[in-house]
């Protein structure tokens, strides 16, 4: 790299991670939590300071901005995206980011949770980062590098481009979305408001990972209405909704894969929440598979299990509602691999060996691609996500920033230019 971005990246990520911006899957609002707008307002001020234009906070909570073209009007418009919310699965308020300078290769401890240890034995990727500057939280919260690392990378690249107008690039549209962690990051109006020919999310893991195949995802809610009565006179009358919920969970493992028993291209069905009482209970599930047929099978298995429980207790009322969330972005990207090819070329240009393994998750790019804006996902370096062991290498973030800048350079080719050759390591359908 000709420019050292590490100090700026560390400063940005620490600043961003201190802001609580956790999303809430149970909120019907958009964005789901008002605190996400605290991040957006900070970013608005920073975008104004660096000279971005067309800075807009939409009524659905996405922050948009433009870097004007320095290469004329013939280049495609490129979108760069990251999400500002953090995962609701673990504590995210009061984050205390810690910078471990020049990591020595040993165990990393956490001052607020002495029982925790981040070890290269359990995190092989960490073993390759000796000498790097490692960012963690203090042990009682997640860090929030997912995806504030992506935000920091895009903001750093944008600041660099605006400060150096001699660098040739086409029009660049920035988008910082809320609610990605709860599957609602891409509002139906975003493709129109982004107005990009193609885009990239910076929301991936290890260096060199360029992802264009994701899970297809559905969500499900099972409602159980029991029969409530005073326990002292309950004989022959009480139907405990919590007991039926427990029976349902016990029934499922014999007929489906779970996240802890699946890997690679295997999908799963996972119970994520159980709320309620003896009278009424609600179970929340996520369904994941790389193929729509497999996703439908998992939905049918869940419905069959619910039907079985209902037959065992006809006095109870059970319902199962399955809702689409996002679809495998490969279904659309395989029809035009230009954005993926461009990303592979950018990675090779900065000395990386790119890979494109299926991602066992989804990004805003999954939904954005489905809505007509091709959007592969690019690495940031973040690891051990959604828990207290979350960490990231600042040097990895610097490489991702270099990747971002190289993408803007290669994307400045005129729209009629012949696409680059297909990338290596492409995924077969």
CATH number at residue 308: 3.30.70.360
CATH number where 29 lies: 3.40.630.10
Q: Examine the domain organization and report whether 195 and 246 are in the same domain.
A: no
Range of the domain at 125: 6-214+328-410
Q: Examine the domain organization and report whether 138 and 46 are in the same domain.
A: yes
Q: Does some domain include residue 1? A: no
85 is catalytic: yes
Q: Examine the domain organization and report whether 113 and 33 are in the same domain.
A: yes
CB atoms within 10 A of CB 406: 19
Q: Does some domain include residue 420? A: no
Q: Does some domain include residue 24? A: yes
Q: Examine the domain organization and report whether 44 and 150 are in the same domain.
A: yes
Considering its fold, how many domains does the chain have in total?
Answer: 2
Q: Examine the domain organization and report whether 307 and 363 are in the same domain.
A: no
Q: Are 96 and 369 in contact (CB under 8 A)?
A: no
Q: Examine the domain organization and report whether 146 and 274 are in the same domain.
A: no
Q: Examine the domain organization and report whether 296 and 395 are in the same domain.
A: no
Q: Examine the domain organization and report whether 36 and 155 are in the same domain.
A: yes
Q: Does some domain include residue 416? A: no
Query: In the listed set 282, 307, 326, which residue is the last one of a domain according to the structure?
Result: 326
Q: Does some domain include residue 169? A: yes
Catalytic residue among 20, 147, 180, 370: 180
Burial of 121 (0-12, 13-18, 19+ CB in 10 A): exposed
Q: Which residues pair with 284 in a beta bridge?
A: 221, 273
Q: Does some domain include residue 91? A: yes
Query: What global pTM score does this model have?
Result: 0.89
26 is catalytic: no
Q: Does some domain include residue 368? A: yes
Q: Examine the domain organization and report whether 16 and 40 are in the same domain.
A: yes
Catalytic residue among 20, 46, 85, 197: 85
Q: Examine the domain organization and report whether 175 and 123 are in the same domain.
A: yes
Q: Does some domain include residue 99? A: yes
Query: In the listed set 290, 310, 326, which residue is the last one of a domain according to the structure?
Result: 326
Q: Examine the domain organization and report whether 226 and 176 are in the same domain.
A: no
Question: Sign (positive/negative) of CA torsion 301, 303, 305, 308?
Answer: negative
Place of tokens 């299990």: 305
Q: Examine the domain organization and report whether 63 and 158 are in the same domain.
A: yes
Q: Are 46 and 155 in contact (CB under 8 A)?
A: yes
Q: Are 139 and 113 in contact (CB under 8 A)?
A: yes
pLDDT tens digits, the chain, 429 residues: what are they? 458 999 999 999 999 999 999 999 989 999 999 999 999 999 999 999 999 999 999 999 999 999 999 998 889 999 999 999 999 999 999 999 999 999 999 999 999 999 999 999 999 999 999 999 999 999 999 999 999 999 999 999 999 999 999 999 999 999 999 999 998 999 999 999 999 999 999 999 999 999 999 999 999 999 999 999 999 998 999 999 999 999 999 999 766 688 888 888 999 999 999 999 999 999 999 999 999 999 999 999 999 999 999 999 999 999 999 999 889 999 999 999 999 999 999 999 999 999 998 888 888 999 999 999 999 999 999 999 999 999 999 999 999 999 999 999 999 986 554 444 444 444 433
């Amino acid at each position: 790299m000709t420019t050292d971005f590490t100090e700026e990246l560390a400063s940005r990520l620490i600043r961003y991670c201190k802001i609580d911006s956790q999303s809430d899957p149970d909120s019907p609002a958009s964005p789901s939590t008002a605190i996400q707008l605290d991040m957006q307002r900070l970013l608005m001020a920073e975008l104004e300071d660096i000279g971005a234009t067309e800075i807009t906070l939409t009524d659905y909570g996405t922050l948009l901005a433009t870097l004007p073209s320095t290469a004329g009007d013939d280049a495609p418009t490129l979108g760069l995206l990251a999400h500002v919310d953090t995962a609701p699965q673990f504590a995210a308020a009061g984050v205390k980011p810690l910078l471990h300078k020049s990591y020595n290769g040993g165990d990393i401890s956490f001052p607020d949770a002495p029982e925790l240890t981040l070890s290269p034995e359990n995190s092989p990727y960490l073993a390759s980062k000796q000498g790097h500057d490692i960012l963690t939280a203090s042990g009682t919260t997640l860090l929030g590098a997912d995806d504030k690392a992506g935000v920091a990378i895009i903001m750093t690249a944008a600041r660099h481009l605006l400060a150096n107008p001699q660098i040739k690039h086409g029009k660049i549209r920035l988008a910082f979305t809320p609610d990605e962690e709860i599957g609602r990051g891409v509002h139906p109006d975003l493709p129109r408001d982004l107005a990009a020919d193609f885009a990239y999310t910076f929301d991936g893991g290890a260096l060199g990972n360029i992802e264009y195949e994701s899970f297809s995802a559905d969500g499900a809610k099972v409602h159980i209405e029991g029969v409530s009565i005073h326990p002292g006179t309950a004989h022959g009358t009480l139907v405990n909704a919590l007991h039926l919920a427990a029976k349902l969970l016990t029934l499922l493992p014999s007929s489906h894969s779970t996240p802890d028993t699946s890997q690679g291209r295997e999908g799963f069905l996972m119970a994520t929440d159980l709320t309620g009482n003896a009278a009424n209970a609600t179970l929340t599930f996520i369904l994941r598979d790389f193929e729509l047929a497999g996703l439908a099978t998992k939905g049918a298995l869940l419905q069959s299990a619910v039907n079985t429980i209902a037959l065992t207790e006809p006095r109870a009322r059970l319902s199962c509602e399955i809702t689409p969330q996002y679809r495998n972005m490969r279904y659309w990207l395989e029809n035009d691999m230009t954005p993926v090819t461009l990303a592979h070329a950018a990675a090779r240009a900065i000395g990386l060996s790119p890979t494109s393994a299926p991602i066992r998750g989804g990004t805003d790019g999954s939904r954005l691609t489905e809505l007509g804006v091709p959007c592969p996902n690019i690495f940031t370096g973040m690891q051990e996500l959604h828990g207290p062991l979350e960490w990231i290498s600042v040097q990895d973030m610097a490489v991702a920033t270099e990747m971002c800048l190289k993408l803007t350079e290669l994307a400045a080719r005129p729209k009629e230019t012949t696409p680059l050759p297909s990338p290596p390591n492409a995924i077969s359908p």
